Structures are given as structure tokens and as C-alpha cells.
Structure 1
Amino acid sequence: MEKPNAFLQLLGLVRRASKLESGEEFVLKAIRNNSVQLVIIASDTGQASAKKIRDKASYYHIPLIDRYTKSDLSQATGMSRTAYGVKDPGFARKLSTLVNE
């Protein structure tokens, strides 16, 4: 049996704590408002959507993670989305740490 992924488990906790923005348009708006600390997009997001989110996150100097598929992220959060924004700085810092391990 595969060991549960700590990043995906924490992402589910972030969702339950209501510290997660989800959906492409909502995440883009949150980036523009500087209300997210970390952006997560699915690795299998469409090229146009991925470019739009990457460019916006880069312009506003918000770190971006794109290591997980839409299926992985959807299973962790219980929502079928390709883009997520983490609002809480503590959760964002821990998620960044976990993804780099």
C-alpha cells in the first residue's frame, strides 16, 4: 500500500479550514487582490489556463506548485478543480516545505 502523501493530506486540511480558494477565475482574482500566499495548479491543466495562472502568479511574486494531477488534487480536496490558492501564510509555508522534500 502506498504511503499517504503529506502534501495532499495537508491540502485537504487547508480546504476544511476554509483557507483555500478554488477555481481558475477565483484564483486569478485572489492573486490580483494579493489574498493568496501560494498557488497550486494541476500538472494536466490546459496550456492556455496554465499560462494565464503562471504569468499572473509570477507577476505578483506568488509561488506556484504544479507537481500534482487534477485527479490527485481533486481527491485531496473533494472538489474537481485545476487551480487552488492558499490564503493562510502558515499553511502556504508548510505546503511549500512538503513539496520540496
Structure 2
Amino acid sequence: MSQYLNLLGLAQRAGKISLGEDNILNDIRSNQATLVLIASDASSNTRKKLTDKCHSYQIPYRIVGNREEISHALGKYDRVAAAIKDEGFTKKFLQLIDD
């Protein structure tokens, strides 16, 4: 499970991630997001908002880990979602998460 968290930190340092609900929604709308990761303990409201938007724009998403794991991997405080903005990272994430 921790491999994708390492990759999340790497993607963050590479500047290929957007954080914050509004930024993520904007990236989905503008088709910049290639994958959205949502913490398993995100509020049902946040989860619904992000997953509905992903469905509308056909952006893949995954429910992963919890806010503590995601926040730690990103080196940020209290993060429940992240949008990946890079095809290469997305491909690797899906490989690690779906296996």
C-alpha cells in the first residue's frame, strides 16, 4: 500500500499534483486532472462532489488510504484529495493501486 504513497510524494515534488477541492474541481473541468485520489475518510459531501465531477468528465478516480496517510505523503496538513496532472504518474498510480 505504501508504494503509491511514495509515488504521491514524488509527484508532489515534481509539481504534478493539485490540492484543495476548488483546484481539483477546476482541474477536472479543464481536463488537466488525469486521476483523482480521494481519502477513504473524506466527508461524504466532498467525496460525492469529486466523484460526480469525475464521472461527468470521465476522469478516473480511486478511494485510497486515509487523510493522515495522504497528508503525510504530501507533506501537507489535513488533505483528503489530490488530483494527479500527469499521464505517466497516473499510469503508475493505477498500476500500484489496482494490483
- TM bucket (normalised to shorter chain) is over 0.9
Q: 1:71 aligns with which of 68, 72, 81?
A: 68
CA distance in 2, matches of 1:42, 1:67: 5
Which residues of structure 1 form unaligned runs of 5+? Answer: none
Which stretches of structure 1, 4 residues or longer, exceed 2 Å deviation after superposition?
none
- The residue number in structure 2 matching 1:31 is 28
Root-mean-square deviation over aligned CA pairs? 1.0
Q: TM-score, normalised by structure 2?
A: 0.95
Match of 1:87 among 85, 88, 93: 85
The secondary structure found in structure 2 opposite 1:40 is: strand
Q: Does 1:21 align with 2:2?
A: no
- 1:44 equivalent to 2:66? Answer no
Number of residue-to-residue matches in the alignment: 98
| 1:98 match | 96
Using the TM superposition, give the Cα deviation of residue 65 of structure 1 relative to its aligned residue in structure 2, in angstroms: 1.0
**Cα-to-partner distance string for 1:2-57 (whole Å, 9 max, x where unaligned):** xx711000010000000000111110011001001000011101111110000000
Give CA deviations for 1:53-88 in whole Å, capped at 9, x if unaligned. 000001111110112100010010111211110001
The percent of aligned pairs where both chains have the same amino acid is 39
Q: Which moved more, 1:17-26 or 1:4-13?
A: 4-13
Mapped partners of 1:76, 1:67: distance in 2: 12
Query: Based on CA coordinates, which of the two structures has the bigger radius of gyration?
Result: 1
